[in-house]
Amino acid sequence: MSTIGIFDSGVGGLTVLQALRRRIPGADYLYLGDTARLPYGSKSPSTVRRYALNAADHLSRHNIDILVIACNTASASALPALVASSSIPVIGVVEPGVRAALSTGARRIAIIGTEGTIRSDAYQEALYRLSPDVVVEAAACPLFVPLAEEGWGDHPVTNQVAKIYLQPLLDRGVEALILGCTHYPLLKPSLARVAGPGVQLVDSASSVTDAVLSRHRGLATEGGRGKVVLHLTDASDRFRRITQTILGADPEHLEIVDL
Ligand code: DGL
């Protein structure tokens, strides 16, 4: 039985866990959410790298076979450092998200994410590297994380905020919008309404699963239903509520850990 380690700054990355479990139900999962130090999105790249390396160290002490960095901010700022320091395969969300966006056929692609993710240029560079003639737009949307945590995925306030952030991108004719933050899939109803039917919303969760399977083919054949263990660095009522919303139930194995 293999264990997939998943790391996020908080519990938004449980959307990635759910996508992985749908296609790879037989694996065991160890999910680490650094809820005590969230948000990563407004911190400097060197702090995000330090936190991400702590987290990877914690997960590697629990015998994981592959590490998925579900956090876009950490993938954008720390993936090379994580790959260099790890003896197991490490998969980030940036390249899978970019591949998913390009597979829609869109030629004008916008990336939205935290300030850290947008400032890093990781998505923009990956888009140009994989498709040099694509037109790339980008916008940081820092208010989206608290709105998602409030459970306002389909709400007039979220519609309003989304209009302010997305209208300049829509005015420039974007055809696909990469949801470059673990929390944004939770806002899909409002984002889809504001973006309109002509814009495809790209969520990297399923393409991350393809990337995992391409690095560890044996995972697809493991049978049964694996165990899911959650490690959080803080478990306030807010995080418990969001965890329940995403998983659809209370987690069976939840531990509070110190990194
Ligand atoms: N998990 C982060 C990301 O995907 C969003 C939350 C944060 O700022 O830590 O970028």
Find the domain containing 48 and state its range. Answer: 3-92+206-256
Query: Can 71 be counted among the known catalytic residues?
Result: yes
Q: Is 104 helix (H, G, I), strand (E, B) or coil?
A: coil
98 with 198, same domain: the answer is yes
Amino acid occupying residue 89: P
Q: Which residue stretches of 68-204 are H helix?
A: 72-85, 94-102, 115-120, 122-130, 144-149, 156-171, 188-195
Claim to verify: residue 70 and residue 159 sit in the same structural domain: no
Measured by CA distance, the residue closest to atom 6 of ligand 1 is 39
The answer on 72 and 8 residing in a single domain is: yes
Distance CA 108, CA 121 (A): 16
pLDDT band at 231 (very low <50, low <70, confident <90, very high): very high
Contact 76, 111 (CB under 8 A): no
Q: Indicate if 175 and 243 belong to the same structural domain.
A: no
Residues 190 and 108 in one domain: yes
Q: Which one is predicted more confidently, 206 or 72?
A: 72
Predicted model pTM = 0.95
Q: Is a pLDDT exceeding 80 seen at residue 212?
A: yes
Cα-to-centroid distance, 184 and ligand 1 (Å): 9
What CATH number did the domain enclosing 109 receive? 3.40.50.1860
Indicate whether 189 and 99 sit together in one domain: yes
CA of 222 to the centre of ligand 1 (A): 31
- Cβ atoms within 10 Å of 65's Cβ, excluding its own: 17
- Are residues 198 and 100 part of one domain? yes
118: its two tokens:
């947008």
Instruction: Out of 98, 100, 181, 186, pick the active-site residue.
Output: 181
- Interval 127-149 mean pLDDT: 96
How sure is the predictor about 204, in pLDDT bands with cuts at 50, 70 and 90?
A: confident
Q: What is the pLDDT of residues 82-91, one digit of tens each?
A: 999 999 999 9
191 three-class SS: helix
Query: Do residues 12 and 78 both lie within one domain?
Result: yes
Q: Whose CA is nearest to atom 2 of ligand 1?
A: 71
Mutate to test the pocket of ligand 1, among 11, 38, 144, 187 (most ligand atoms within 8 A of CB): 38
Whether residue 72 is found in the same domain as residue 132: no
The model's pLDDT over 44-90, given as tens digits with 9 standing for 90+, comes to 999 999 999 999 999 999 999 999 999 999 999 999 999 999 999 99
Catalytic site residue from 6, 71, 176, 191: 71
Domain shared by 17 and 71, yes or no: yes
Does the annotation mark 181 as catalytic? yes
* pLDDT at 252 exceeding the cut of 90: no
The answer to whether residues 35 and 105 belong to one domain is: no
pLDDT for res 207 = 86
What is the identity of the amino acid at 85?
S
Distance 103 CA to ligand 1 centre (A): 24
**Alpha-carbon distances, residue 232 vs 69, 212, 257 (angstroms):** 15, 23, 6
Total number of domains constituting the chain? 2
Rounded Cα distance, 46 and 44, in Å: 6
